[in-house]
Structures are given as structure tokens and as C-alpha cells.
Structure 1
Amino acid sequence: MSVERINPAELSPATGFSHAVVATGSRLVFLAGQTALDGAGKVVGETLPEQFETALANLLSALAAAGGAPADLARVTVYAVDVAAYRVHAGELGRIWRRLAGRDYPAMAVVGAVRLWDEAALVELDGVAILP
């Protein structure tokens, strides 16, 4: 498997994401949206950073169960019920990402959502990974 992250000089600097990811491999893993649900199915964490950390950990757990690692992520979409709050906490969310997933950023997008499936959820992450 190889993953090549492409960040063209003529685009704005990629901070916390890659503009494009070229991936080759033999297994494509589609990761379902993950919120801050604990093992009992209850949303945990009251703040956006707390919920982001749990949602990312859940996404990475699903990826690991499929045989992948954070560097295998080619695409992640973040759904936030409050994009302004996401921007305010961007630095802290970036530190959480780097601690759990490292610095090999996938192509990413943040999408504002009116609400998520679990009404108490503030953020949800889904993704696509390429495994060897």
C-alpha cells in the first residue's frame, strides 16, 4: 500500500489536512460515522473537544479492527453541529488529532449539520482508508 499526500504550492497552506491523497492498495475500508458513544451506547463528554476525542478514538478503533492504522486514512469527513465552535477549538482539536492519529493527514472536510443521529452528539467523523 502507498499513500501520497499532495499539497500544491498554488493552494492555501494545508493545515491539519491534505488537499489530495493518492492511495493504492488492495483493501478499501469505509468507516461509518462515529460519535462520542461509549460501549453502552451513551454519548459521553459535554464539550466539543471531549466528544471529538472520543469520536476519533471510536473511528480509529473501527479502523484497527479492520486491520488498519491512522496513516491508512485517505479521507475523513467531520460533521459538526456548530462550525463556529469547531473553528474556536481548532487548535485543541488538532492537538487531539496528532496525539491519536499522528501527522499524516487525510483529505478532510468539515460540514455543518443541524443535528446528528444522537441528539446529544456535537460531532461525528466518518472516513475511507486504503489498506495493503
Structure 2
Amino acid sequence: MNPPPPPDPDAALCRINPGELSPPSGFTHAVTATGGRLVFLAGQTALDGDGRVVAGGLPEQFARALANLLTALRAAGGAPHHLARVTVHTTDVAAYRAHAAELGRIWRRSAGRDYPAMAVVGATRLWDEAALVELDGIAVLP
């Protein structure tokens, strides 16, 4: 087993990817947090400022939902590298997989390369009926 990297002193997070597991792509296998303040981020869909789901398909909705999640995080005093956990809920897992490379580019452009522990969960429908994707998260602020 590879030793964990030293903790990030700013975020109070340590990202751990054991050598015995498949190499992660777009996520981290485990994240530990010490000290700091927890921020629980509500599920964000692709709603614009007027409460309407943005036009477009899964990539466009993912970009807006991520922007909304990061807006809430910044309002709480955090930044993308403070994310410890993100759950993606989607109404179409096959479409999510088909767009994975594009979604990864959107993530890196918006949130960088400090990936949190992540999961993608299929859902029959989301609260906003036109929504294809919803993201929620947990961040640890120093």
C-alpha cells in the first residue's frame, strides 16, 4: 500500500489512492479531513437565476449544476479544493458515461484537478423534473 500524501494544510484534507485499487480517473478513492469547518452543500441542479433549468443536454446541465454548487461553496467561504465529497445524481447513467470525457473537462475547467471522493448514482427523476443531473457535496474549510 502506498503511504498517503501529506495533508493539504490549507484544506485540512488528505487525498488517498491506494495502489491496490484501480487508478482513479476523475475522483479520489478516499479523503480524510482533520480540523476545520464542515460545509454541507445541498443538491444543485442546472437552475438559472430565475429558477429555470438551462437549455441543452447533460453536459450543459452538468456545467450549470457544478457552477451552482461552487457558488454555494464560495458563499460559505470555500473553494473547489476544499471539496471532500461530491455525489452526482443522474437520470441517465448511460448518457453520463457517454459524456464522461466532456464532463471531466468541465470539472477541470471549473474545479481544477483536486478531485474529491465521488459517486454517480442513477435516479428515476430529480426534484426539478427537467433536470438530468444534480450534484451535492461536503467540503472541509480550514
Bin for the TM-score computed over the shorter chain? over 0.9
Show the counterpart of 2:85.
75
Show the counterpart of 2:28.
18
| Structure 2 residues not aligned, in runs of 5+ | 1-10
1:29-63 Cα offsets, whole Å, 9 max, x none, are: 00000000001100002210000000000000000
- Moved runs in structure 1, 4+ residues, more than 6 A? none
Aligned residue identity for 1:39: G
1:97-123 Cα offsets, whole Å, 9 max, x none, are: 000000000000000000000110000
The separation in 2 between residues aligned to 1:95 and 1:66, in whole angstroms, is 25
- Asked if residue 108 in structure 1 is aligned to residue 118 in structure 2, the reply is yes
Show the counterpart of 1:119.
129
The separation in 1 between residues aligned to 2:55 and 2:89, in whole angstroms, is 17
Show the counterpart of 1:93.
103
Show the counterpart of 1:44.
54
The separation in 2 between residues aligned to 1:42 and 1:13, in whole angstroms, is 38
Q: What TM-score do the two structures reach when normalised by structure 2?
A: 0.91
Show the counterpart of 1:131.
141
- Asked if residue 35 in structure 1 is aligned to residue 45 in structure 2, the reply is yes
* Bigger-Rg structure (1/2): 2
The separation in 2 between residues aligned to 1:18 and 1:26, in whole angstroms, is 20
Does the residue aligned with 1:118 lie in a helix, a strand or coil?
A: coil
**CA RMSD after TM alignment:** 0.7
Q: What TM-score do the two structures reach when normalised by structure 1?
A: 0.98
Question: Which of 1 and 2 has higher RCO (CA within 8 Å, sep 6+)?
Answer: 1
Does the residue aligned with 1:93 lie in a helix, a strand or coil?
A: helix
Aligned length: 132
